Amino acid sequence: MRVLGIETSCDETGVAICDSEHGLMANALFSQVAEHAEYGGVVPELASRDHVRKLVPLLKEALAEANCTAADIDAIAYTSGPGLMGALLVGASFARSLAYGWDCRAMPVHHLEGHLLVPLLDSNDIQFPFTALLVSGGHTQLFSVRGLEEYELLGESLDDAAGEAFDKTAKLLGLPYPGGPELAKLAEAGTAGVYKFPRPMTNRPGLDFSFSGLKTFARTTIQQARLTEQQSGNEQAKADIAQAFQEAVVDTLLIKCKRAMQLTGHQQLVVAGGVGANRELRARLQTWATEANLQVAYPRIDLCTDNGAMIAYAGLRRLEAGMPTSNDLGIHARARWPLAERV
């Protein structure tokens, strides 16, 4: 079976092709980062317009890369939520129209299901059940994943997502958008112990997170260190703050992951989503997993952030498992859509 996947939930346009036998055959991607950078964040209307511009060229690119035609495609999977409504509607309308023209099925796919399943694309070592940490710009959630559509939410952020906290703190430090990777880079030059940030919600039971306090703490620390944009920066102090902030986020995620693994008794932790690309997080989780005789797995770096491959792969898994595909002519898009409601 072969599935074409379309991702347009935010600021990446992705078109990919996944096959039962040949795996990932094409993964065409366009990131709108440069366009949104001058506004310091994603502008929804610009994102929608850019998806309109990029979908056809990316589709052509993906078909050429996979060396296949419409006749080889069994279904078209598209992100139907959660995400920016306008952006979702572009992908959903495009996918539905293409499926109509090509006379094949259209499958709405949950964006987070894509993030959760894509680590399985490259690795035969990952088996259900596993515990998953989903850390992106919009979500910080822990799941028990027992199988396809068997996702139990164990805990989540009550306010900002970890990626959002990275991005907002980076902005306070005067770093360019998107700040997460920039802050991580700066943190490498920081000295540990100069600043000490709190580890929110770790001293009470449960698996929920809260990251908005860290951002506020960062703002106060930056003000006290007189590093506001007008008072041009002391680069070492900025790096020290970035280091302390990153360490606090990583520590907090690690503490909750340990707790989650104790609760589920699983042997494998799968880390997905954009913040999963963070090197410090990966190193700390790996050290702990080795000591605890557990396994921690990630998608490859380029599949951590949004892409079409994760949607094509989730669609393929659903198709192979014989899950219902809505073959109505509806264009399905939901800006807010808890993954648990999928079940």
With CB under 6 A as the rule, give the number of residues binding ligand KG4: 19
Residue 172: how many CA atoms within 13 Å on its side-chain side? Answer: 24
Residues 305-334 touching ligand KG4, rule: CB under 6 A, are: 305-306
Could you say whether residue 306 binds Zn ion (CB under 5 A)?
A: yes
Could you say whether residue 167 binds Zn ion (CB under 5 A)?
A: no
Q: Which two tokens stand for residue 117?
A: 């399943």
Collect all residues with Cβ–Cβ distance below 8 Å to 111 and sequence separation of at least 6.
Answer: 7, 9, 79, 81, 82, 83, 306, 311
Judged by beta carbon, residue 185 or residue 259, the one nearer ligand KG4 is 185
How crowded is residue 20: how many other Cβ atoms within 10 Å of its Cβ? 13
**Least distance in Å: CB of 40 to ligand KG4?**
13
CB 175 within 8 A of CB 182: yes
Nearest CA to 80 out of 64, 102, 63, 96 is that of 96
**Least distance in Å: CB of 114 to Zn ion?**
8
CB 77 within 8 A of CB 109: yes
Which DSSP helix (H) or strand (E) runs through 297? strand 295-297
Site string (143-172) toward ligand KG4, x via CB under 6 A: --------------------x--xx-----
CB 167 within 8 A of CB 178: yes
With CB under 5 A as the rule, give the number of residues binding Zn ion: 2
Site string (235-274) toward ligand KG4, x via CB under 6 A: --------------------------------------xx
The option from ligand KG4, Zn ion, none interacting with 278 (CB < 5 to 8 A, set by class) reads ligand KG4
User: Where on the chain is the footprint of ligand KG4 (CB under 6 A)?
Assistant: 10, 136-138, 163, 166-167, 178-181, 184, 273-275, 277-278, 305-306
User: Where on the chain is the footprint of Zn ion (CB under 5 A)?
Assistant: 136, 306
